[in-house]
Amino acid sequence: MSLPIHPHLLVLRTAATLVLSVLIGQVGWAAAAIGGDPSYFGTHRWWAWLTVAVCLLSLVAYVVLRRSAGTVLLVLAAVVAVLPLVQIALAESDLVALHIFLGVLTVMVGTALTSWTYRHTLPEHATAA
């Protein structure tokens, strides 16, 4: 049995989907807390570390498969891995407005990573290997 797509694309698409999923989850916990139940801030806080872990593991996948991923996807994966760390620093510094703005930007970059990854085809040098 053969896969309908190249295994590298399967790994990259799975990684991007997981990143977008935890980013959306993080936004959901924030919305629940801001929406009137501050007890969700605790969940939002620990989910942030889960988000960092998933984003960093995703970056590892993109680095390992960098020849298949290409420059654009590699840069997007790196940016989406760094932004949650900046988010945590902003939250610890009580810079709420900037934290919310950068949170929206982070989800946008995660969406771009996912979109570009799903539209990506393998470069010629990657398919020959």
Per-residue pLDDT tens for 94-121? 999 999 999 999 999 999 999 999 999 9
pLDDT at 129 over 80: no
**Mean pLDDT over all residues of the chain?**
93
Q: What is the pLDDT of residue 3?
A: 75
> For residue 106, is it within any domain?
yes
pLDDT at 127 over 80: no
Q: What is the pTM of this model?
A: 0.90
pLDDT tens for residues 85-97? 999 999 999 999 9
pLDDT at 128 over 90: no
Domain count for the chain: 1
Average pLDDT over residues 47-65: 97
pLDDT at 13 over 90: yes
> For residue 50, is it within any domain?
yes
Range of the domain at 88: 7-121
> For residue 91, is it within any domain?
yes
- Cβ-based neighbour number of residue 87 at 10 Å: 21
Distant-in-sequence contacts of 89-96, Cβ < 8 A, 24+ apart: 91/45, 91/48
> For residue 47, is it within any domain?
yes
> For residue 61, is it within any domain?
yes
> For residue 38, is it within any domain?
yes
Query: Residue 3 phi/psi, 5° resolution?
Result: -75, 150
Report residue 126's pLDDT band, with 50, 70 and 90 as the boundaries. Answer: low
> For residue 113, is it within any domain?
yes
> For residue 99, is it within any domain?
yes
